[in-house]
Amino acid sequence: MGRHVLLIEDEPNIIEAIRFLLTRDGWDVGTHSDGADAVEVIQAASPDMVILDLMLPGKSGMDILRDLRDIPEFAGLPVLMLTARGQSRDREMAEKAGVSRFMTKPFSNAEVLTAVRDLLAQASRK
């Protein structure tokens, strides 16, 4: 089981925090901050998991998620979606689009680590 996480987020402080946290935990973390070409970047990187911000420049995390789920080899890719707006409507839309887990900012380091570990454990059992 690989340990490559691709973080798609445009806030530098969140990128740094998550990259530091996951790298320290033994993950290989790639980052990208533009929604417009995120699907192509994910396809090229072929990560074990994606952490995806809902609000991105160029294309929303929701649209990226929908596009990913339409690609057969990425239909089961674990996706953890981050959002500053935790409205239930966003959560419902994300779940319909096939998100694996939804997390509202601000979140604790422990929450992120637990979510990443859980999602990869679930994926490796499939």
Question: What domains are defined for the chain?
Answer: 4-121 (3.40.50.2300)
Q: At what angle do helices 88-97 and 61-69 cross, to 10 degrees?
A: 20
pLDDT in tens, 83-113: 887 678 888 999 999 999 999 888 999 999 9
The CA distance from 53 to 1, in Å, is: 24
Give the C-alpha distances (Å, rounded to integers) separating 106 from 18, 72, 122: 12, 32, 24
pTM: 0.93
pLDDT in tens, 41-71: 999 999 999 999 999 999 999 999 999 999 9
